[in-house]
């Protein structure tokens, strides 16, 4: 798979990277060593030399330093590109110095009380001490561990750097590359399993209506599309994930509605919790790997851009990208996400969810996220 590289050397859309990142790969990804340093890759230009005369030696001595300074941003801008990201063990987990992470991405870091901000001409990322909530270009993403502060140093979890920031800011680091041709659309619940209820309104019906629209539009875009159900039938969770395996799905999308107190509203996108990380809302660590963990980076990128498109197209409140091990998204052998398209328990949001215009916006947004991922990783 070729990496998508822009003319100015950036990879992706929201990063503030310098040109050397255009050659980013897993081979030159950051590596951790026991001396509390993260070694960063440098981009070395290879210049072929043909047979030359003595005066050319002098010319090369004069020109080569200039060429290398232009070809290697790390050499040209040593103050902006540290060779290491410092890290430390804090509360039993590995954390990275946030100031070094910001510099790695070519961003400036500022602090105000408990708030930490990374900023470049491409992106603004905000964090808060003791909070797992990150906001990247106005889209919320819940981290695995809260931002910490130790001896006046702000810290971010190593897994959040590797599995959230890296894939979103540098999609070229995403592995494995997963071309999307076959998509399984999963309307949650069905049959006797009605899901959430508000009066005579059942979640299963809203899920199916939106999923049918999504499947139709995806087919029109040239994807091979299957559905776990296309009518009001009850399908076990196990059958849903096995269906994905049977058709060799490249992407699994589960459509659901949320339920809470009547005043709560908003959209959420869920992906599987990484191994050795806690799910949102808990500090209990998921020690065992699940099939979906192979696609942690893919899922983060896909969910982020899907959530962004959803809140932009619908205008509904952003409740963020969250990670939990729901059965259907932890047991799929392909990238997967579960989208809570709104709260059926909120009367105003229920009316929206039943409105064909809103359903069109939701399905268009999901497709936006899929296309964004496909284009960034092909």
Q: Where are the domains of the chain?
A: 13-40+52-172, 182-377
Can you point out the beta strands (E) in 189-289? 197-198, 201-202, 224-227, 251-258, 267-271, 277-278, 285-286
Q: Which of 41-45, 143-147, 259-263 has the lowest mean pLDDT?
A: 41-45
> Residue 202 to residues 191, 231, 256, 354: CA-CA distances in angstroms?
11, 14, 11, 11
DSSP-derived 3-state class of residue 143: coil
Residue 377 confidence (pLDDT)? 78
- Is 60 exceeded by the pLDDT of residue 43? no
φ, ψ for residue 210 (rounded to 5)?
A: -70, -40
Residue 40 confidence (pLDDT)? 56
Q: Which residue has the tokens 């890296």?
A: 166
- In CATH, which of 3.40.640.10, 3.30.479.30, 3.40.630.40, 3.40.50.300 is domain 182-377? 3.40.630.40
- Is 50 exceeded by the pLDDT of residue 57? no
> Percent of the chain at pLDDT above 90?
74
CA 241 to chain centre: 22
The helix (run of H) or strand (run of E) holding residue 136 is: strand 133-136
Q: CA 228 to CA 240: how far, in whole Å?
A: 6
Residue 23 confidence (pLDDT)? 32
- Is 70 exceeded by the pLDDT of residue 186? yes
Residue 177 confidence (pLDDT)? 86
Give, in words, the CATH class of 13-40+52-172: alpha beta
Q: Which residue has the tokens 């979890």?
A: 157
pLDDT tens digit sequence for 142-171: 999 999 999 999 999 999 999 999 999 999
Q: CA 313 to CA 298: how far, in whole Å?
A: 22
Contacts (Cβ under 8 Å, ≥6 apart) of 83:
39, 40, 42, 74
**Residue of 192, 358, 169 lying closest to 267 (CA atoms):** 358
- Is 70 exceeded by the pLDDT of residue 83? no
- Is 70 exceeded by the pLDDT of residue 85? yes
Q: Which of 96-110, 167-181, 212-226, 347-361 has the lowest mean pLDDT?
A: 167-181
Q: CA 190 to CA 33: how far, in whole Å?
A: 51
Contacts (Cβ under 8 Å, ≥6 apart) of 53:
none
CA atoms within 13 A on the CB side of 97: 16
- Which of the pair, 79 or 161, is modelled with greater confidence? 161
DSSP-derived 3-state class of residue 101: helix
- Is 90 exceeded by the pLDDT of residue 66? no
> Percent of the chain at pLDDT above 70?
78
**Counting beta carbons within 10 angstroms of the beta carbon of residue 206, is it exposed (0 to 12), middle (13 to 18) or buried (19 or more)?**
buried
- Which of the pair, 376 or 163, is modelled with greater confidence? 163
Q: CA 274 to CA 285: how far, in whole Å?
A: 9
- pLDDT-derived band at 44 (thresholds 50, 70, 90) equals very low
Q: CA 200 to CA 182: how far, in whole Å?
A: 35
- pLDDT-derived band at 30 (thresholds 50, 70, 90) equals low
Residue 175 confidence (pLDDT)? 86
Residue 27 confidence (pLDDT)? 42
């Amino acid at each position: 798979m070729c990496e998508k590289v822009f003319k100015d050397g950036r990879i992706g859309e929201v990063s503030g990277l310098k040109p050397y990142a255009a050659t980013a790969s897993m081979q030159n990804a950051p590596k951790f060593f026991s001396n509390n340093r993260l070694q960063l890759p440098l981009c070395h230009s290879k210049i072929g030399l043909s047979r030359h005369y003595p005066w050319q030696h002098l010319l090369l001595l004069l020109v080569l330093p200039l060429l290398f300074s232009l070809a290697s941003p790390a050499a040209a801008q040593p103050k902006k590109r540290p060779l290491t990201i410092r890290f430390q063990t804090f509360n039993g987990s590995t954390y990275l110095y946030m100031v070094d992470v910001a510099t790695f991405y070519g961003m400036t870091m500022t602090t105000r009380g408990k708030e930490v901000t990374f900023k470049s001409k491409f992106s603004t990322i905000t964090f808060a001490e003791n909070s797992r909530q990150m906001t990247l270009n106005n889209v919320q993403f819940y981290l695995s561990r809260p931002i910490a502060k130790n001896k006046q140093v702000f810290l971010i979890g190593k897994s959040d750097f590797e599995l959230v920031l890296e894939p979103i800011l540098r999609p070229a680091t995403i592995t494995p590359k997963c071309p999307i041709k076959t998509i399984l659309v999963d309307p949650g619940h069905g049959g006797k399993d009605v899901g959430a209820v508000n009066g005579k309104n059942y979640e299963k019906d809203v899920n199916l209506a939106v999923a049918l629209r999504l499947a139709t539009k995806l087919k029109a875009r040239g994807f091979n599309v299957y559905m776990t159900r296309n009518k009001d039938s009850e399908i076990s969770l196990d059958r849903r994930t096995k269906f994905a395996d049977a058709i060799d799905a490249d992407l699994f999308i589960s459509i659901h509605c949320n339920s809470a107190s009547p005043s709560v509203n908003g959209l959420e996108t869920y992906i599987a919790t990484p191994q050795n990380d806690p799910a949102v809302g808990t500090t209990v660590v998921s020690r065992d790997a699940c099939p979906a963990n192979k696609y942690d980076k893919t899922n983060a990128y896909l969910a982020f851009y899907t959530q962004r498109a959803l809140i932009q197209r619908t205008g509904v409140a952003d409740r963020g990208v969250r990670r939990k091990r729901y059965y259907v998204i932890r047991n799929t052998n392909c990238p997967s996400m579960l989208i809570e398209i709104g709260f059926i328990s909120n009367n105003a949001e229920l009316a929206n969810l039943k409105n064909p215009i809103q359903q069109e916006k939701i399905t268009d947004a999901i497709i936006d996220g899929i296309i964004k991922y496909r284009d960034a990783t092909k």
